[in-house]
């Protein structure tokens, strides 16, 4: 068992475990942000009050938080931005998986 702020990692064969500094992925998220290979980039939540943004997120490693919004004419695309302003971009979703946000970064589009 690990102290708060650490999580336990076990060997694949279960012979050992160690406590490491790390982020334990949440389980209560509404959607995921993924790259074009469907690698998880973060966990997205819907805001109850959507006046300022549609939702918020935390990255897969817990290092960044941010907000995201739907485009005015679609719930299958929108924009996102880290709270610290270090990165932003756009996202889209397929109709068959509307809560899987496929993320692109501004530098990817230049």
**Neighbouring-strand partners of residue 66:** 57, 82
Q: What is the C-alpha to C-alpha distance for residues 37 and 14, in angstroms, rounded to an integer?
A: 30
- Comparing C-alpha atoms, which of 66, 64, 73, 33 is closest to residue 47? 66
Per-residue pLDDT of the chain (110 residues; tens, 9 = 90+): 555 555 566 656 666 666 555 667 788 999 999 999 999 999 999 998 888 899 999 998 888 899 999 999 999 999 999 999 999 999 999 999 999 999 987 654 44
CA nearest to 64, candidates 40, 45, 83: 83
Q: Parse the chain into domains and list their residue ranges.
A: 25-109
pTM of the entire predicted model: 0.73
Instruction: Report the distance separating Cα 8 and Cα 37, nearest Å.
Output: 28
């Amino acid at each position: 068992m690990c102290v708060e702020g650490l999580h336990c990692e076990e060997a694949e064969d279960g012979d050992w475990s160690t406590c490491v500094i790390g982020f334990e992925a949440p389980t209560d998220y509404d959607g995921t942000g993924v790259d074009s290979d469907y690698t998880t980039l973060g966990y997205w939540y819907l805001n109850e009050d959507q006046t300022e943004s549609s939702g918020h997120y935390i990255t897969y490693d817990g290092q960044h938080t941010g907000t995201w919004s739907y485009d005015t004419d679609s719930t299958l695309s929108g924009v996102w931005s880290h709270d610290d302003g270090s990165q932003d971009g756009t996202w889209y979703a397929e109709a068959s998986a509307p809560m899987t946000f496929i993320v692109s970064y501004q530098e990817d589009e230049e």
